[in-house]
Amino acid sequence: MGWLGRTLDRTAHWLLQWRIIRGPARWVANSRYAWSIVSRTDRVRERRLQTRVMGDTLPQHISIIMDGNRRYAADSGLAATLGHRAGKEKLEDVMDWVLDIGVPYLTVYALSTENITSRKPGELEALFDLYVEGLNDLSTDERIHKNSVRVQVAGRKELLPERVLEAIENAESLTASHDKFVFTVCLAYGSREEIIDAVRAIAADHAEGSLDLSSIDEAEISKRLWTGDMPDPDLVIRTSGEERISNFLLWQSAYAEYYFTDVFWPSFTRGDLLEAIEAYQQRKRRFGE
């Protein structure tokens, strides 16, 4: 079919050089009929994709590096703060999709320890306000309580301002008894710092005599990580076209499957999520074998 597609493409380009063709073609392309056909086609495609995904083994833990808010804003002629707000609203959508699909663990990378020192103070303050708003929304969101979602925050919380800490405490305490889904937000998070803290805890236990050197293994390190009460991620998704892990879940994602997409985070769709899961399902996981 490749030759046929190329032939049709060349023919279309040749026809569009003529004004008598170009005018009507532009009208058709921008008409509500064309958008209706495209929209219906996308919905049919998405339904079929979801049917395939739901018929196979789902990942139990999805982690997302939500990247591209500022570039989305720049491309749209918006302030960076509006890009971050669009990213917050997208996260609410993605949580709905994950709950609908039935994946019990969702972890997102919202703010790194490096971001705290590299971002401008005004942008950071706007981000902190968004985190407070988002966490407070989660505390009272009917979907959270109806679906028994436990909300938790992982990271160097001492680097966050008091208003964010209060919002974290509120969200965590109000959802502490929920046990069906776990939603983890990584704030002021750095995986190297997380591993350092775990090593320090192990060293302290060994020094006081409560932990033998021979007992230090993967399990001992894992349970001391900030995410120690969760299974390792099966699928890690990064948006915006960057193909690196940026100090995110280094220990936990040793055997995770990675999926990179060029889509900026605010433009991420349900179809993009389903495509990432289907790509995961099509891979043979070897776990180092």
CB 40 within 8 A of CB 33: no
- Residue 146, H or E segment: helix 142-146
Per-residue pLDDT 10s for the chain (289 aa) are 456 656 766 776 676 666 676 667 566 555 565 445 545 566 778 889 999 999 999 999 999 999 999 999 999 999 999 999 999 999 999 999 999 999 999 999 999 999 999 999 999 999 999 999 999 999 999 999 999 999 999 999 999 999 999 999 999 999 999 999 999 999 999 999 999 999 999 999 999 999 999 999 999 999 999 999 999 999 999 999 999 999 999 999 999 999 999 999 999 999 999 999 999 999 988 776 6
Sign, CA dihedral 44-47-52-55, equals: negative
* Segments making up each domain of the chain, as ranges: 59-189+226-281
Q: Which of 42, 75, 100, 115 is catalytic?
A: 115
CA distance 35 to 32: 5
Catalytic residue among 9, 30, 56, 67: 67
**Domain 59-189+226-281, architecture per CATH:** 3-Layer(aba) Sandwich (3.40)
d(CA 273, CA 73): 21
Longest Cα pair distance anywhere in the chain, in angstroms?
87
217 among known catalytic residues? no
- On whether the CB atoms of residues 259 and 88 are closer than 8 A, the answer is no
267-279 CB burial, b ≥16 within 10 A, e <16: bbebbbbbbbbeb
3-class DSSP state for residue 25? helix
Is 137 a catalytic site residue? no
